[in-house]
Structure 1
Amino acid sequence: MIPAIAVRRLDKRFGATRILRGVDLMVEPHERHALIGPNGAGKSTLFNLIAGAARPSAGRIELYGADITRLAPAAICRRGLARSFQTTSFFAKLSVFDNLRCAAQIANRDRMRWWQRYTATREGDEHAEQVLDAVGLGERRDVIAGTLSYADQRALDLGLALASGAHTLLLDEPTAGMNRAEAARAVELIRAATAGRTLLMVEHDMDVVFGLADRISVLVQGEVIATGTPDAIRADPAVRAAYLGDIGEAGDAARGAAR
């Protein structure tokens, strides 16, 4: 099976500083894959490289077998990969629906012709309506996006990625800044909204990671030191020594919830 995302021997240097050191990472189609590691491990740098926001010093990145290593972010997005950021990114003065409508129209633009413009717009609106319900914002359809609660803003951010038509999603700390109840709701939303899609996420909340991910990769000092199921990662002595430590009862509860 061709991986959804394949990162092969990826290096990134900033001057004399080597941030990523020959990273290999495979994300299978339709799986939810978490990337974890301590601050400064290179997680955001790796996300930037996959999304096209930066260029690697060496190595190759593939999306369903196609080389995207040197493509611009817009070109990668057109191939079906969308990214959300640690901070929300949307049009604060537009309504929730109009934000989703913009993303949906961009997704449809390659099919638009001057004599079909109205049809394409109608299709985009229908898609935006579907995404609106998928991310649980149906009752906030006409609310100005900038006035949403933080948790709803993150839901809208996910909706924008879905409305773009992406089959592969990069989520950067999707529950950052949320309380426990908000994070639990976000996990359920992500699980439902990304069904049938491929997900690679960076997340520091271990309850979220062990409750959502099918597989986990651990990045430490620019190198992937382990990849495996949540149970395998929890039990890996090298991972525990380098990053997890003793995650205790909270981790056990999260593992139980994932089953």
Structure 2
Amino acid sequence: MTALALQLRGIEKRFGATRVLRGVDLDVREGERHALIGPNGAGKSTLFSLIAGERRASVGRITLRGADVTRLASAALARRGLARSFQATSVFANLSTRDNLRCAVLASLGGGTGLAARWFGATRASKRVDARATELLDALDLAHAANHAAATLSYAQQRALDLGLALAGGAHTLLLDEPTAGMNRAEAARAIDLIRTMTAGKTVLLIEHDMDAVFGLADRVSVLAQGRVIATGTPEAIRADVAVREAYFGAPAGAADA
């Protein structure tokens, strides 16, 4: 049986009297690309924030590679190998593309909590940091823009850099929040190819509204509706599921397959 990278059991999230998540169970296998889809307001972003340690679940348990991480914050999860990218790019606009990646690599190396310790670690690790940054620049097809300020990159290039920042620390599990949002069809196709290449052998859980991206990238798909997972299966099974079409695609029961 394939080991689980992420497991969620009975996850609920309440904001006051409002229940946003209602007993979510989800299994994400090691090394798979797993898409989370659902209509607006289904609770996808809230669920991501719980997995990433930005908020805490009201009820339930989250495990990462078998370890209970329900109460851990983002920084602790990053040290355990979980990284997240956001809908909006999170690059340092005024730093060069290379320095963005160097910062991300350096942060992953640790070396102490004080400023002096970090700079001492940076000096000792500079060759290692530069080598990893160069490796990522080449893989992301951003070597030509290594010395350009991140703010001058195109939107699609900034999203590629954002993926590089998430990968810089060698994370084994990635949360990607709408990685093709705001892109045209050609840019989205290139982004999906890049994700497929850059995340080979890693575990990916992504939120995505572009169904071409979902069905072209994901090994399995889970559908979230009204705070609950209503279906999980292969892209083909999800596409053919009547309940999914009713809840997400808006097709009535008995309608022809999309």
The TM-score, its normalising length taken from structure 2, stands at 0.92
Moved more, 171-180 or 106-115: 106-115
Change (3 A) 1:129 1:64: same
**1:113 Cα shift?**
8.8
Aligned equivalents of 2:118, 2:47: Cα separation in 1 = 37
Question: In structure 1, what is the equivalent of residue 54 of structure 2?
Answer: 53
How does 1:29-40 map onto structure 2 within 5 Å?
29-40=30-41
What letter corresponds to residue 208 of structure 1 in structure 2?
Answer: A
| Structure 2 residue 234 is matched with structure 1 residue 229 | yes
Change (3 A) 1:150 1:116: closer
| Structure 2 residue 200 is matched with structure 1 residue 195 | yes
Moved more, 47-56 or 121-130: 121-130
How does 1:51-130 map onto structure 2 within 5 Å?
51-110=52-111, 117-130=122-135
Q: Describe the SS at the equivalent of 1:74.
A: helix
Question: In structure 1, what is the equivalent of residue 140 of structure 2?
Answer: 135
| Structure 2 residue 170 is matched with structure 1 residue 169 | no
Structure 1 stretches of 4+ with a deviation exceeding 4 A read 110-117
**1:39 Cα shift?**
0.1
What letter corresponds to residue 26 of structure 1 in structure 2?
Answer: D
Question: In structure 1, what is the equivalent of residue 254 of structure 2?
Answer: none
**1:245 Cα shift?**
4.0
Equivalent of residue 147 in structure 1, options 149, 152, 159: 152
Q: Describe the SS at the equivalent of 1:10.
A: strand
What letter corresponds to residue 100 of structure 1 in structure 2?
Answer: L
Question: In structure 1, what is the equivalent of residue 183 of structure 2?
Answer: 178
- TM-superposition CA deviations, 1:70-112 (whole Å, max 9, x none): 1111111111011000000011000000000000011112598
What letter corresponds to residue 139 of structure 1 in structure 2?
Answer: H
Aligned equivalents of 1:109, 1:194: Cα separation in 2 = 23
Q: Describe the SS at the equivalent of 1:86.
A: coil
Identity of aligned residues (%): 66
Question: In structure 1, what is the equivalent of residue 9 of structure 2?
Answer: 8
Residue pair 2:62, 2:69 contacting (<8 A) in 1 also: yes
Q: Describe the SS at the equivalent of 2:209.
A: coil
Aligned equivalents of 2:120, 2:49: Cα separation in 1 = 38
Question: In structure 2, what is the equivalent of residue 242 of structure 1?
Answer: 247
Residue pair 2:111, 2:121 contacting (<8 A) in 1 also: no
**1:5 Cα shift?**
0.7
Change (3 A) 1:238 1:140: same
Structure 1 unaligned spans of 5+: 253-259
Residue pair 2:13, 2:22 contacting (<8 A) in 1 also: yes
Residue pair 2:29, 2:203 contacting (<8 A) in 1 also: yes
Aligned equivalents of 1:143, 1:117: Cα separation in 2 = 22
Aligned equivalents of 2:48, 2:120: Cα separation in 1 = 39
**1:131 Cα shift?**
1.2
Moved more, 106-115 or 183-192: 106-115
Q: Describe the SS at the equivalent of 1:143.
A: coil
What count of residue pairs does the alignment treat as equivalent? 248
Aligned equivalents of 2:130, 2:9: Cα separation in 1 = 39
Question: In structure 2, what is the equivalent of residue 212 of structure 1?
Answer: 217
- TM-superposition CA deviations, 1:229-257 (whole Å, max 9, x none): 000101111111111245xxxx97xxxxx
